[in-house]
Amino acid sequence: MNKPLEILVVSDATGATAEAVVNSTLVQFGRANVRVRRHPFTRTVEKAREILDGADQRAVVVFTFVSSEMSAAMVKLGRSRNLTMVDLLSPLMGIFSHALHSIPSRTPGAFRGQTEDMFEVVEAIHFTRRHDDGQGLETMDQADLIILGVSRTGKTPTSIFLSCRKLKVANVPIVLDVPLPEEVRLAAAPKVGFRMELERQVQVRGERAGRMGARIPHYAERRHIMEEIAYCNRLYRSLAGIRSVDVTNRSIEETSDWITHNVL
């Protein structure tokens, strides 16, 4: 009999959420030959090293540390042992910090006692990330909300912000002369179209092109953006029931509140 794949769940708190994410993913693989082992309250590099020293060479290590120092140490320890490392928390911490304009408290176990709510939030976040920028069309019908808009109108950060409110959000880019997927048109979820003034669009796209250090054909050109906006407005008019919002001078929080009160 083949040796089971060892999956280590290592956390500075209980690790229950990380283990739930692992198990919900494993469901998709039927009766996979795996063994999940949870290591809670791992808060020192020495304890992390001890855990990894005892790991199988094929092991997958899924970890959640609110401490950036512990996360970095964990990655370094895993790489030195050629283990597969999966950091569940740090990417979301960075995204939320940017979207919420806030610094995380980095308190281990801060959500303990709120397990049910936490699982719903985690599920919504995972759905939203899988349906970012037009992805996940095959499960678009499971969305609670669909956000549409041309490039650089804040679709992704707004989607992430709303997913923290347990909403499964899909966002879909409007690209000049590219038809909207039928999966989006047929989805029953409420739809909201983002609009932004031309001058602001020219500015933000120019800034992005400058940061990328490479020229994207027509991306920041005024005439092209005008055509995109006109095409976008035509698409909005073709969608029954869609609400649109001008996000030019709205923060992510303000846009999210507008959606909550006027669309959902």
Q: Give the start-to-end residue ranges of the domains of the chain.
A: 5-100, 115-262
Q: How confident is the model at residue 82 (pLDDT cuts 50, 70, 90)?
A: very high
Per-residue pLDDT, 241 = 93
Amino acid 193: pLDDT? 97
φ/ψ of 51, rounded to 5, equals -65, -45
Distance, C-alpha 65 to centroid of its chain: 18
CATH among 1.25.40.10, 3.20.20.80, 3.40.50.2300, 2.60.120.260 for 5-100 = 3.40.50.2300
Q: How far apart are CA 36 and CA 61, in angstroms?
A: 10
Query: Could you tell me which residues are beta bridge partners of residue 57?
Result: none
Beta bridge partners of 62: 9, 86
Q: What is the pLDDT of residue 67?
A: 84
Average pLDDT, integer, range 21-37: 83
| CATH number belonging to domain 115-262 | 3.40.50
Average the pLDDT over each of 113-127, 164-178, 199-213, 240-254 and give the range with the smallest value: 113-127
Please state, in angstroms and rounded to a whole number, the distance separating the CA atoms of residues 70 and 46. Answer: 11
pTM recorded for the entire structure? 0.58
More reliable by pLDDT, 96 or 173? 173
On the question of a common fold for 5-100 and 115-262, the answer reads yes
Q: Which two tokens stand for residue 103?
A: 């610094």
Q: What is the mean pLDDT of the segment spanning 118-145?
A: 90
11 and 18 in contact (C-beta within 8 Å)? yes
pLDDT, position 32: 78
Whether residue 113 has pLDDT greater than 50 = no
207: CB partners within 8 A, 6+ apart: none
Instruction: Using the predicted structure, report yes or no on whether residue 144 has a pLDDT greater than 50.
Output: yes
If we measure between CA atoms, which residue out of 24, 7, 16 comes closest to residue 130? 24
High-pLDDT (> 90) share of the chain, %: 57
